[in-house]
């Protein structure tokens, strides 16, 4: 679908997957004026195909659009487009547990003009791809490197938008962490390098002395849909959950005194990813003996159970693709 100042959003169309042609001066190439989303379609054992909270993705897309000076996309239109395309591509979802169709809606600024101003022209595109199980051999804890040199986002910047620059800013640290055997980077705040923000593509939670803590939304982390769903489930189960500022020092202190019971990341790709070890400035902190914690496991089983239609959906999260 295209946008022009004159016609607004127009010319919605479905075409076979193919390269697109853009002018080399298109603003997206030079100034990164672009946003994206990520969600999944799941097939139940009875053959129903369903999306997980697509309204949340389009609300977030429009918040990202607003931050990046991109015109909003009508939420209903976006959801309908995802449903139509999923109907066409649903046979690509491989049979078997854990498989799904990953859906990537995105907007790019296409106006060919090198002046640094918001574009007057955009394209909104949806692509999708079958993806296999994130944990083909069962849920497995990851090792995470706490980044103390580079910064990904600052309050007042674009950290809460799902925009390309945030991810580009993280690549170098991510590469270095991978080389040392860590799966992902845990980002600290940009001002003081003290407070926990989020992991490269996940929000983070820590269970300390029976209470689950997660960094409060502060304008520099992504408002994750799995994060939001996790908080709802924990409250539903009467497990205390607190959103507040969390320092890395207090997590290490809880670890040293034996009060840190579990840590896990939340995100569309892995759903729940237990954290077995942190490394902050060379000091390693092994969590729950490097094993998957009880709450992590329960959340994983319940979220995936709801997504694959095996468990009741108490919050009406799933949207059927008819």
The binding site for ligand PMP (CB under 6 A) comprises 38, 198, 201-203, 222, 224-227, 266-268
Q: Residue 172 contacts by C-beta under 8 Å, 6 or more apart in sequence?
A: 150
Residue 272 phi, psi (nearest 5): -130, 130
Return the closest-CA partner of residue 44 out of 318, 245, 309: 309
Minimum CB separation of residue 201 from ligand PMP in Å reads: 4
Q: Indicate the residue among 200 and 276 with the shorter CB distance to ligand PMP.
A: 200
- What one-character DSSP code corresponds to residue 217? P
Minimum CB separation of residue 267 from ligand PMP in Å reads: 4
Angle at 80 between CA 74 and CA 86, to 5 degrees: 140
Minimum CB separation of residue 186 from ligand PMP in Å reads: 11
Strand partners, 27: none
Return the closest-CA partner of residue 247 out of 186, 289, 156: 186
Q: Indicate the residue among 199 and 248 with the shorter CB distance to ligand PMP.
A: 199
Q: Indicate the residue among 85 and 202 with the shorter CB distance to ligand PMP.
A: 202
Q: Indicate the residue among 229 and 288 with the shorter CB distance to ligand PMP.
A: 229
Return the closest-CA partner of residue 145 out of 175, 178, 185, 197: 185
Minimum CB separation of residue 79 from ligand PMP in Å reads: 16
Minimum CB separation of residue 224 from ligand PMP in Å reads: 3
- Centre a 10 Å sphere on the Cβ of residue 75 and count the other Cβ atoms it contains: 15
Q: Indicate the residue among 26 and 51 with the shorter CB distance to ligand PMP.
A: 51
């Amino acid at each position: 679908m295209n946008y022009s100042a004159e016609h607004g959003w127009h010319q919605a169309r479905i075409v076979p997957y193919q390269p697109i042609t853009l002018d080399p001066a298109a603003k997206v190439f030079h100034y990164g004026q672009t946003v994206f989303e990520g969600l999944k379609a799941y097939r139940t054992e009875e053959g129903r195909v369903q999306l997980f909270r697509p309204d949340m993705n389009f609300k977030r897309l429009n918040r990202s659009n607003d931050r990046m000076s991109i015109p909003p996309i009508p939420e209903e239109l976006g959801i309908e487009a995802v449903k139509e395309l999923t109907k066409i591509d649903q046979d690509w979802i491989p049979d078997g547990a854990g498989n799904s169709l990953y859906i990537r809606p995105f907007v790019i600024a296409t106006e060919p003009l090198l002046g640094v101003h918001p574009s007057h022209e955009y394209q909104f595109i949806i692509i999708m791809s079958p993806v296999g199980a994130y944990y083909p051999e069962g849920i497995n804890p990851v090792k995470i490197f706490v980044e103390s040199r580079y910064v990904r986002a600052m309050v007042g910047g674009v950290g809460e938008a799902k925009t390309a620059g945030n991810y580009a800013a993280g690549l170098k640290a991510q590469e270095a962490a991978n080389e040392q055997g860590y799966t992902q980077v845990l980002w600290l705040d940009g001002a003081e390098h003290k407070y926990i923000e989020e992991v490269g593509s996940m929000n983070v939670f820590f269970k300390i002395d029976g209470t689950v803590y997660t960094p409060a939304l502060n304008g520099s982390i992504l408002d994750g849909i799995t994060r939001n769903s996790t908080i709802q489930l924990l409250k539903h189960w009467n497990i205390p959950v607190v959103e507040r500022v969390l320092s890395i020092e207090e997590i290490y202190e809880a670890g040293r005194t034996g009060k840190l019971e579990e840590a896990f990341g939340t995100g569309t790709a892995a759903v729940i990813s237990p954290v077995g070890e942190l490394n902050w400035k060379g000091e390693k902190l092994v969590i729950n003996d490097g094993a998957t914690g009880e709450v992590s496991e329960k959340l994983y089983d319940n979220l995936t159970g709801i997504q694959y239609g095996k468990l009741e959906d108490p919050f009406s999260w799933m949207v059927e693709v008819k």
